[in-house]
Amino acid sequence: MAGRPEGGEEQHSPTQRTDAMKDISCKLLVIGAGPGGYVCAIRAGQLGVDTVIVDFQKPGGTCLNVGCIPSKALIHAADEFLKVREMAGGSDPLGISLASPAIDLPKTIAWKDRIVGRLNTGVAGLLKKAGVKSVTGHARFRDGKTVEVETETGIQVIRAEAIVIATGSAPVELPSLPFGGPVISSTGALSLSEVPATLAVIGGGYIGLELGIAYAKLGAKVTVVEAQDRILPLYDADLTRPVVKRLQALGVEVLTGAKAKGLSKSKDALLVETANGEEAKIAAEKVLVTVGRRPVVEGWGLKEIDLDRDGRFIRIDEQCRTSMRGVYAIGDVTGEPMLAHRAMAQGEMVAEIVAGQRRSWDKRCVPAVCFTDPEIVSAGLTPDEARQGGREVRVGQFPFSANGRAMTLQAEDGFVRIVARADNHLVLGIQAVGAGVSELSAAFSLAIEMGARLEDVAGTIHAHPTQSEGLQEAALKALGHALHI
């Protein structure tokens, strides 16, 4: 995000100049160097568009710096540590044993930070290679064609023919549990110096569960507090059932229908109103709040250009155009799904539009991945969504318990499911839950984008032994002749 971080507006007036820095004029200005912004700038540069990108932090945005990448690094470290702990406990079925496992969390965090640093450097290099000029500072609109940037050396004015807003999103803060002290956001959870003995996670969505499971594997006693009647409410119950089973095996306590009320007076426990209306106290050395993210629409002069809004978000059309001519918006600031790969696809499209090409947003699906244990992937329509409006569908489901590769990986929980129209067998959606199924997401999306039918998927030779065979078998099941179940 490129606007001023949460906490207020600039103290100077929009027209105040602190020095005589020369104004910059360009064809395209991108505000925000997250996944959407930097992809937009790189593609524009490749197409010969004179491009400037502005952000107050290192390139990569939330995803690279404090989100997708570092969280997956922590999840991997937690997975490896759990394997070692199980070996030390003598419960490893492979016959591997060792003694006294321990984790040096600061060393783990340093490893994670090195990965982030390498990617920061890589993105900066790609921007430079594409001929994009990078400006570090806090951007603020003066009008629809002019932005001023508060840099370390003064106010830099930038005039552009087209502007892309890619300011991203920020964690939602609860009034009763403001961030600070023992209360942390996902950003804080990725930079702890030690594993907390007890951790309360408020919010049973994908962010809370990904991090909660990781810390449970690292040795914390984790409790999840979810206001709705089940975890991961955006996914159907069949997909989340294996995750619930795994949470129980890891000793994670889950309170559904419960509401967090605040910290205890001693600040070492979370006060919760349970589903039956009683008050409970949960021991919590740290309280991780993951109740959603909100678009960053404050701190960069949105009032100066008065864009139409769609609730909290900036309203856009199928070409990511806002209500002001020449101003585009992409990524989290434009609404759900708040996913990095959606922002990247939008950014690439807008760059090509600015370069004079004809493009519009006609994606059939945006895959969603939940990196819990086991992982969940959903692309396109679920069975219930596909049946809306009275449409008849065919559904095929294949369990990993019948997949040889899954057995050898000790990963038999879960399944692959395919949804298609009953009349012409057009694939409408594919979902899976299981170990490592995130790597199947591209195949799922490709089938839907290419307009595949059940016969296309079933007739494609899938390598054996792999988990991907589950996709072929699910299609065969939908056609009525699965081979291995």
Contact 190, 74 (CB under 8 A): yes
The residue ranges of DSSP E strands in 32-128, in sequence order, are 51-55
Q: How many CB atoms lie within 10 A of CB 281?
A: 11
Whether 481 is a known active-site residue: answer no
Q: In one letter, which amino acid is 392?
A: E
CA R_g for the chain:
24
Q: CA dist 269 to 22, 132, 207, 222, 375, Å?
A: 55, 49, 21, 12, 30
The residue ranges of DSSP E strands in 274-421, in sequence order, are 279-283, 286-289, 293-295, 309-310, 313-314, 327-329, 368-370, 375-380, 393-399, 415-421
CA distance 72 to 4: 27
Q: CA dist 298 to 21, 216, 244, 335, Å?
A: 26, 36, 38, 15
CA distance 278 to 441: 42
Catalytic residue among 12, 464, 481, 484: 464
Contact 34, 168 (CB under 8 A): yes
Q: Which two tokens stand for residue 28?
A: 């395209």
Cα angle value 302/307/312 (rounded, 5°):
80
CA distance 98 to 357: 60
What lies within 8 Å, CB to CB, of 241 at 6+ separation is none
Cα angle value 230/233/236 (rounded, 5°):
100
Q: Which two tokens stand for residue 291?
A: 């109740």
Q: Percent helix, strand, coil in the chain (nearest 5)?
A: 35, 25, 40
Dihedral over alpha carbons 222, 227, 229, 234 (to 10 degrees): -90
What lies within 8 Å, CB to CB, of 78 at 6+ separation is 213, 214, 215, 217, 218
Q: CA dist 163 to 44, 129, 380, 397, 446, Å?
A: 12, 21, 31, 46, 31
Q: CA dist 450 to 347, 408, 442, 443, 446, Å?
A: 22, 32, 12, 10, 6
- Would you name the residues annotated as active-site residues? 464
